[in-house]
Each structure stands twice: as C-alpha cells, then as structure tokens.
C-alpha cells in the first residue's frame, strides 16, 4: 500500500499497531497537532529605512524553514533570515512568514514605521537675533504629526542656544547640529532629547552637518581660513577621522549644503565653481568620496540673476530637490525644483518665482511628501514656517505644519540674512 508522504507519523504508527497480534479491541483514533507558524515580535515600532529582525517558529513540523514576504509590494524588503528593511516612508507594513512544510500555514507581523525630522525655532521676536531652540517633529505610522520642543533640564524652559542648523539621524535617536561660539561655529552631536551633547569639531568654523543613511558618517562644511573658501568634509559620527571630501581646488570657490543619497554612494551639494571656463553656481553631484563631480544646474547663462541651492535627494535616489533663488525686482524669491541625477528632466514643483517665497532647504523626509521652509504667507519678510507638499505635486497640495509668529526653519540662513523684518 502506498502512503501519502504527508501523513503524520502518529497516524501511521496507530495503523501499523492495529495489524498485529495482541489486543484486537477497537483502537482510540488520535490526530497530531496541525502545523502552525508564529512570528516574534508580532508588532514592532521602527523608523524609516531601519532594520528589524523578525523570527519565525514553525510548530509541529520537522522542517522549521519559512519563506518571507512583504505584504505591501515595494514597501521595504525582507531577507531569507527575516531581517526587514523599512522603506523611506512611514506607514503600517506587514511581513508574512509561510511554512515550507505546509504552505497553507503562515503568520503575519506588523511593522509600524515612523519618520522624524528636526528644525529650529526662534525664541526672540523674528526681528531679533539668536537664540533659537530645537524642535522635533514625528510622523507616526498612521500619519499623525506631533511636534514638540526640547526642555532644558536646568531651567525647565526651552533649550536655548545659538543653533544654526540641525538634522536628525535616520533612526531617530541622535541629532547633529552646528552652534555658534564666540568667534566661530562648531558641530555637536546629542541624543534626540538633547542630552549628552558632545562637541565634534573645533578650530576652523564648521556647519551644515548631515548624517549618512546608516548614521555612521557625517558630512559637513568646513571653512578653509588661509584661502577664505569653504570645503566639504566628512567624519565618523563620533567625530573621528575628520577629512576633506571636496577640498577647495583652483576651480572651486565655495561649497555648501552637502547631502548624501539614500544609498550613501553619492553626494549632492551647492557649488560655486568654474568648469572649463564656465562659472556654475548651482547643484552638483559627485561620488561619496568627492570624486567625479559634475554640475547639474547653475550655468552662467541662466537669466533670473540668482542661484540654485540647498539640494536634497528624493528618497528613491532618482532625483534631487533644490530651491532656485531668483532676483525679482531686487527681492529674492524661491521656487522648488527637481532634477534627475543624470541632469535630465528639470521640473518645477512649487512656486512661480514671482512672489515672496523662499523654499530653502527642501527635505524629502518621507516619500509621502516634501517638507520645506517658506515665508510664502508673509511676503518678503523673515517670518518662515514649515510646510508639507503632497507627493502628488501636480495637485499643488500644501499643508502648513507650523503656525506661529516665530521663525521655523531647517537652517538659520534666511533668519539671519533676509533683509526685511515682519511688521
């Protein structure tokens, strides 16, 4: 008699026992427990582009292996060992483990992915100078936005300092920022609640820090004092291995706002440089080690009398967002653009370049939207707020996410240099 290979061994044992001698009374029929799968943890919280280790256990089967899948196509990836890498998007995503012994049996875990960002807010009226205070924003996995300030444990009030710019690590645990000191500016790192502040740089003025995708490296701008030029530098996140990434060579006059691509293989920055006799003041792209720099925008023939600045990669790495600043009747206005990393498909995303808006430091915090700072609701004055532009930029859907009579921005540039105070 041919037996089906999937018959449980307990059933086979009972059948053979009933064919021999001994007690011929009717045996009691028993069935083995069915195959089942569990995943641990079954619910877990993390941040965009972070990794979560899941473990699947197969019960009542000799084959303990499973096949892993992400239920929502394209929303991250899971390895054969259950290591899930979250996407550059907040949301609730589901990871499924299917038993290879019995493919009809599976389990599902929920990964709740949040996204955080940081900005600075003025403490004094917007007509005044420093200080500023750090602010932390968080998109929960369901899209709920919360914004909170940082408390100074010594005073019980807002943490106050001369912070020029700030960014948060991808895992949401650290912030890196530049802060003025008498006669200079240096870069510091701290926990997200601003505990454990540690100075990373000293000597030459340094600012514009940005984390690498794995949070192990920091890009920043360092001022080369002997030749009065700025350079792109890099260091480990503990401040070690400080080194020039793009030094001020003969043709490079100024570097600013360096940022990593999502895969960490490229850098985009704002450069003022001369290439083959043509001056560019715009967006450049290069390898992560500073080699192979190529201008994408900013040739001298552009007509608006301004420059392209403050680049930020889209989260899929295919394009770069930037702000095009133009001189409109001696008033600076800004429009948000994108361009593919190969220099094609220059696209205007938001603003028409005729009204008082400066879309400075656009940040593609999540794939569901683009965060930027702007004074669009206040004319040509120093009062900026944070806005969220919908991923469907053709709809022009913009939501203001800060609402006060203070400066809110990712960096201090426009707070410090914008010519007109708010009346």
* SS3 readout for 204-239: CCEEEEEECCCCCEEEEEEEEHHHCEEEEEEEECCC
Residue 332 token pair: 């600076």
Residue 8 token pair: 């449980």
Report whether 249 contacts 230 (CB < 8 A).
no
- When the pLDDT of each residue in the chain is averaged and rounded to a whole number, the result is 85
Fold of the domain spanning 34-112: Immunoglobulin-like (2.60.40)
Residue 131 token pair: 């200080």
Residue 201 token pair: 């740089």
Q: Residue 398's pLDDT is what?
A: 87
Q: Burial code of 358-384, b = ≥16 C-beta within 10 A, e = fewer?
A: bbbbbbbbbbbbbbbbbbbebebbbbb
Q: What is the pTM of this model?
A: 0.86
The pLDDT tens digits for 238-252 are: 999 999 999 988 789
- Do you know the residue count of the chain? 423
Point out which residues pair with 217 in neighbouring strands. 236
CA distances, 80 to each of 59, 192, 261 (Å): 19, 33, 26
The domain locations on the chain are: 34-112, 254-260+304-423
Closest CA to 267 of 223, 219, 230, 299: 219
Q: Residue 5's pLDDT is what?
A: 32
The pLDDT tens digits for 17-71 are: 333 444 444 444 344 789 999 999 999 999 999 999 999 999 999 999 999 999 9
At 107 the three-state DSSP class reads strand
**Cα distance between residue 112 and residue 93, in whole Å:** 6
The pLDDT tens digits for 326-345 are: 877 667 778 889 999 999 99
Average of per-residue pLDDT across 97-117:
96
Determine phi and psi for 191, rounding to 5 degrees. -65, 160
């Amino acid at each position: 008699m041919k037996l089906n290979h999937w018959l449980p061994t307990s059933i086979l044992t009972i059948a053979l026992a009933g064919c021999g001698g001994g007690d011929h009374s009717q045996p009691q029929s028993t069935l083995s427990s069915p195959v089942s799968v569990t995943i641990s943890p079954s619910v877990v919280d993390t941040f965009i582009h972070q990794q979560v280790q899941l473990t699947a256990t197969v019960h009542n089967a000799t084959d303990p292996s499973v096949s892993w899948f992400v239920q929502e196509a394209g929303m991250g990836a899971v390895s054969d060992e259950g290591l899930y890498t979250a996407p550059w998007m907040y949301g609730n995503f589901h990871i499924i483990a299917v038993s290879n012994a019995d493919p009809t049996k599976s389990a599902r875990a929920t990964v709740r992915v949040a996204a955080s960002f940081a900005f600075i807010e003025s403490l004094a009226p917007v007509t005044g100078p420093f200080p500023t205070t750090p602010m932390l924003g968080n998109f929960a996995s369901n899209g709920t936005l919360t914004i909170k300030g940082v408390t100074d444990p010594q005073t019980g009030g807002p943490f106050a300092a001369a912070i020029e710019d700030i960014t948060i690590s991808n895992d949401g645990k650290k912030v890196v920022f530049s802060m003025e000191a008498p006669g200079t500016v240096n870069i510091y790192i701290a926990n997200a609640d601003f505990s454990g502040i540690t100075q990373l740089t000293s000597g030459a003025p340094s600012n514009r820090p940005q984390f690498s995708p794995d949070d192990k490296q920091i890009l920043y701008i360092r001022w080369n004092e002997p030749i009065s030029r700025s350079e792109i530098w890099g260091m480990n996140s503990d401040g070690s291995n400080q080194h020039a990434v793009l030094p001020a060579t003969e043709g490079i006059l100024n570097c600013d706002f360096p940022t990593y691509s999502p895969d960490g293989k490229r850098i985009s920055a704002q450069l003022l440089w001369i290439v083959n006799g043509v001056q560019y003041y715009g967006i450049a792209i290069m390898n992560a080690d500073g080699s192979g720099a190529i201008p994408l925008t900013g040739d001298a023939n552009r007509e608006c009398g301004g420059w392209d600045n403050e680049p930020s990669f889209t989260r899929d790495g295919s394009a770069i967002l930037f702000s095009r600043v133009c001189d409109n009747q001696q008033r600076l206005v800004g429009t948000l653009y994108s361009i593919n990393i190969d220099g094609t498909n220059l696209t205007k995303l938001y603003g028409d370049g005729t009204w008082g808006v400066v879309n400075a430091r656009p940040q593609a915090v999540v794939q569901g939207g683009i965060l930027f700072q702007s004074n669009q609701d206040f004319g040509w004055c120093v009062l900026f707020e944070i806005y969220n532009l919908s991923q469907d930029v053709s709809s022009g859907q913009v939501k203001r996410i800060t609402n006060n009579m203070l400066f809110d921005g990712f960096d201090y540039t426009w707070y410090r240099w914008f010519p007109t105070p708010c009346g």
